[in-house]
C-alpha cells in the first residue's frame, strides 16, 4: 500500500465530528477553531456544492435545521450563502478556505451529493491538500468517481457496499479486493441489529492494512470499550469527552 501522509499520526486517532457538533454549531469556522484549540488534528466534515459549483462545508442539503432559513444548498449561489448569518457569524464556509486556513490539520471529507464531487476535488487540488484529506461517502458510486478524479494518492474510505463486502469477508475468511487508495473502514458500531465492530472485523481489517475508525461515539464507556477492542480512531460530537478519555489512557497526542 502507498504510504499516505494522512495517517501520519499515532493511533488511536481522535476525530472532531463536524468540528464537535455537541456544542450546537457544526461545520463552522468557530467549531473548527474550538476543536483545533483543544488539540484535535483530525476534523470530520461534510461537503455540498452550490448552484455555481463551489464546494461548501455543510452537512444538510437544506439550510433550515442550522439556520432557520429556507433554501437548498444546491439551488443557491455561493454569493447568497456567504451572507447567511446565525448570531452574526457566517455559518457556511467554503471548503477551499477551510483547507487553506489550517494546513497542519487532517480533514475527513464526506461528500454528501454527486454535485459535490468535482468541486471537492477541485478545492483539494487548488489548496495542495491531497496528502492531508481523506475522501469519504456513503455512496460507493460517488466514491468511485472521487477516486477517479483525485487519483490513487488521495486517501479514501469505503461506502456502504464496500463496508458490507469487508464485513462479510471478515465473517467468512474469503479474500476481498479494495481500491488502492482505501486506507480505512469508517463504520458505526452497529448497523440495525448487526454488530459491525468486533475483534474479528478489526483484526481482519488490520491484516489488509486498513485502519478502523468508528462513528459517532459520544459515551465515554463506549469509547473505552472500543479502544480496548483495538480501533484506530473514534469520531465524536463531544470533543471534550473524547479528549478526556484519551488523556486518561495516555492516547492524547495534541496537534
Known catalytic residues are 17, 59
Closest CA to 138 of 197, 188, 88: 188
Closest CA to 211 of 233, 234, 235: 233
Would you give the end-to-end CA distance of the chain in angstroms? 25
Structure-block grid coordinates of residue 194: 448487526
- Report how many helices (DSSP H) and strands (DSSP E) the chain contains, helices first: 10, 13
Structure-block grid coordinates of residue 103: 494546513
Q: Positive or negative CA dihedral for 151, 154, 160, 161?
A: positive
Cross-strand bridge partners of residue 111: 47
CB atoms within 10 A of CB 124: 25
* Phi, psi dihedral angles at 65 (to 5 degrees): -60, -40
Amino acid at each position: 500500500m502507498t504510504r499516505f501522509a494522512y495517517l501520519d499520526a499515532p493511533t488511536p486517532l481522535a476525530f472532531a465530528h463536524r468540528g464537535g457538533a455537541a456544542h450546537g454549531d457544526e461545520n463552522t469556522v468557530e467549531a473548527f477553531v474550538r476543536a483545533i484549540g483543544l488539540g484535535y488534528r483530525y476534523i470530520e466534515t461534510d461537503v455540498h456544492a452550490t448552484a455555481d459549483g463551489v464546494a461548501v462545508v455543510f452537512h444538510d442539503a437544506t439550510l433550515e435545521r442550522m439556520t432557520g432559513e429556507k433554501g437548498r444548498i444546491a439551488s443557491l449561489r455561493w454569493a447568497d450563502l456567504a451572507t447567511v448569518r446565525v448570531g452574526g457569524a457566517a455559518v457556511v464556509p467554503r471548503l477551499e478556505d477551510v483547507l487553506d486556513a489550517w494546513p497542519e490539520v487532517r480533514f475527513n471529507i464526506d461528500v454528501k451529493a454527486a454535485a459535490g464531487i468535482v468541486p471537492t476535488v477541485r478545492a483539494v487540488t487548488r489548496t495542495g491538500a491531497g496528502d492531508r484529506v481523506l475522501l469519504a461517502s456513503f455512496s460507493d458510486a460517488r466514491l468511485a468517481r472521487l477516486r477517479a478524479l483525485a487519483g490513487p494518492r488521495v486517501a479514501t474510505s469505503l461506502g456502504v457496499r464496500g463496508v458490507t463486502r469487508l464485513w462479510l469477508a471478515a465473517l467468512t475468511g474469503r479474500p476481498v479486493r479494495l481500491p488502492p487508495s482505501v486506507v480505512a473502514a469508517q463504520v458505526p458500531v452497529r448497523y440495525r441489529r448487526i454488530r459491525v465492530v468486533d475483534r474479528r472485523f478489526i483484526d481482519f481489517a488490520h491484516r489488509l492494512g486498513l485502519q478502523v475508525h468508528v462513528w459517532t461515539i459520544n459515551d465515554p464507556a463506549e469509547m473505552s470499550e472500543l479502544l480496548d477492542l483495538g480501533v484506530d480512531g473514534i469520531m465524536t460530537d463531544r470533543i471534550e469527552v473524547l479528549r478526556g478519555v484519551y488523556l486518561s489512557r495516555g492516547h492524547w497526542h495534541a496537534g
